[in-house]
């Protein structure tokens, strides 16, 4: 496609979202390199993100721009070339989340540096959605999330918990300190495991540096907060079978995950290349099919808008801390990370992505009290 033609198409598409090239509003795009137009039409979301990283365009309020693009459905208008088609086909042909690939996202994303994540995430080191119903600041909202999980699972002193994917040990520490339970947690990230063991030192917590699929034993609760985004659609049933196998007859299983409104076999091409290799978001249909015959769903709670606020808080922390990390990571990383954080916030603001907490039990047991859900029922 000729440059002038590509520019006309892109301007028309952006106009559908109320966005003007060269406009004065914070969500308008300022194009610095006219190759931007052809690149985006050729490689869709991948080219859109990469061209921002390369400085080919700017926007004063990326979150507002991407919110408008998502609400207008422009992603569906630009299909891209063979590179995007291969990205989709690859996820259907191969199990991109099999055990031998599980460490890729740990090495490329979670092992960036504990000091970097501490600066962005705050005192709690929680890299999942906070719960803002009664909180005024990030740390308080993250602690509210941790306690909400514990109450939904019905933790009591002396219980045992299997945590599949434990981040930096925040949930394990909270559950052990506040509820007196014993936690066994699995994680494939070397950096996270190292800090989690320090954070949980002296508590009845075992941090296992291994893939979640190697978990065994019987526990009163099986919990995952933020791992389902890395499980992959070919492995959802495997995850549910493991949770079922490790759950006591009267136990409670719990999943906290980002979700999408429609089923897919892959994620945004830019996100999988630069942020979460081999990641993907589940749909309700995919998760419910994986649960069938194994679990009764006791509660399915969506508070996706809270993730918008969480991501904007992380972005504020990131900007404040950036001078400390600028030399280590460089300008292209800064633009990449801002595109990631603000684009993710836009996804939740536009309601194209959700945040689910799912409580499950085995068939045949008595229904547990809906602990932690009283706020929504008043």
* Reduced DSSP (H G I as helix, E B as strand, rest coil) percent helix, strand, coil of the chain, to 5: 50, 15, 30
| Reported confidence tier of residue 91, pLDDT bands at 50, 70, 90 | low
Q: What is the pTM of this model?
A: 0.92
222-255 burial, b for 16+ CB within 10 Å, e for fewer?
A: bbbbbbbbbbbbbbbbbbbebbbebbeeebbbbb
Say yes or no to pLDDT of 346 above 70. yes
Tokens of 133: 């119903």
101-105, 143-147, 202-206 — which is least confidently predicted? 101-105
Say yes or no to pLDDT of 86 above 60. no
Say yes or no to pLDDT of 22 above 60. yes
Say yes or no to pLDDT of 102 above 80. no
| Reported confidence tier of residue 378, pLDDT bands at 50, 70, 90 | very low
Of all residues in the chain, the percent with pLDDT exceeding 70 is 90
Report the number of secondary-structure helices (H) and strands (E) in the chain.
15, 9
Identify the pLDDT of residue 277: 87
How many residues are listed for the chain in this entry?
378
Identify the pLDDT of residue 8: 93
User: Mean pLDDT over residues 350-368, rounded?
Assistant: 95
Closest alpha carbon to 199 in 210, 187, 211? 187
Give the pLDDT confidence of 134-152 residue by residue, as tens digits: 999 999 999 999 999 999 9
Identify the pLDDT of residue 375: 45
| Reported confidence tier of residue 50, pLDDT bands at 50, 70, 90 | very high
CA dist 243 and 224 (Å) reads 10
Identify the pLDDT of residue 57: 98
Identify the pLDDT of residue 369: 82
User: Mean pLDDT over residues 11-17, rounded?
Assistant: 95
Tokens of 249: 């007859």
Give the pLDDT confidence of 209-222 residue by residue, as tens digits: 999 999 999 999 99
Give the pLDDT confidence of 228-265 residue by residue, as tens digits: 999 999 999 999 999 999 999 999 999 999 999 999 98
Strand partners for 280: none
Identify the pLDDT of residue 146: 98
Domain range annotation of the chain: 3-80, 100-377
CA dist 241 and 294 (Å) reads 7
| Reported confidence tier of residue 84, pLDDT bands at 50, 70, 90 | low
1-5, 177-181, 346-350 — which is least confidently predicted? 1-5
Question: Which helix (H) or strand (E) is 151 found in, with range?
Answer: helix 138-153
**Which class is domain 100-377?**
alpha beta
User: Mean pLDDT over residues 328-356, rounded?
Assistant: 97
70-74, 77-81, 136-140 — which is least confidently predicted? 77-81
Identify the pLDDT of residue 371: 58
Say yes or no to pLDDT of 331 above 50. yes
Q: Count CB neighbours of 328 within 10 A.
A: 11
């Amino acid at each position: 496609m000729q440059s002038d033609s590509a520019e006309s198409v892109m301007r028309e598409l952006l106009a559908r979202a109320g966005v003007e090239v060269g406009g004065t509003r914070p969500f308008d795009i300022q194009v610095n390199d006219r190759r931007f137009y052809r690149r985006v039409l050729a490689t869709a979301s991948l080219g859109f993100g990469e061209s921002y990283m390369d400085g080919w365009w700017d926007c004063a309020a990326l979150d507002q721009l991407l919110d408008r693009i998502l609400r207008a459905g422009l992603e569906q208008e630009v299909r891209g070339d063979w590179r995007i088609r291969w990205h989709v086909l690859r996820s259907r042909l191969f199990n991109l989340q099999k055990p031998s690939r599980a460490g890729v996202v740990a090495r490329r994303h979670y092992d960036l540096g504990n000091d970097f994540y501490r600066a962005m995430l705050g005192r709690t080191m929680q890299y999942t959605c906070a719960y803002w119903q009664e909180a005024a600041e990030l740390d308080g909202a993250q602690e509210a999330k941790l306690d909400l999980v514990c109450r939904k699972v019905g933790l009591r002193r002396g219980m045992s918990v299997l945590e599949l994917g434990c981040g930096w040990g925040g949930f394990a520490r909270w559950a052990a300190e506040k509820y007196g339970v014993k936690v066994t947690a699995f994680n494939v990230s070397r950096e996270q495991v190292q800090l989690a063991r320090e954070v949980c030192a002296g508590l009845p917590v075992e941090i296992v540096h291994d893939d979640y699929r190697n978990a065994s034993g019987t526990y009163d609760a099986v919990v995952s907060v933020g791992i389902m985004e890395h499980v992959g659609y070919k492995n959802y049933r495997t995850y549910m079978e493991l949770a079922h196998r490790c759950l006591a007859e009267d136990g409670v299983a719990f999943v906290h995950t980002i979700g999408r409104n429609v089923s897919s076999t892959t994620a945004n091409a830019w996100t999988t290349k630069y942020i979460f290799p081999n990641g993907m978001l589940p749909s309700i249909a995919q998760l419910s099919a994986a649960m069938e015959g194994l679990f009764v769903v006791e509660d399915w709670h969506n508070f996706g808008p809270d993730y918008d606020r969480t991501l904007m808080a992380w972005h504020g922390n990131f900007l404040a801390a950036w001078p400390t990390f600028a030399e280590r990571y460089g300008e292209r990383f800064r633009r990449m990370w801002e595109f990631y954080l603000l684009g993710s916030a836009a996804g939740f603001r536009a309601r194209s992505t959700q945040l689910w907490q799912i409580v499950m039990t085995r068939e045949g047991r008595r229904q547990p009290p809906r602990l932690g859900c009283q706020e929504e029922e008043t």
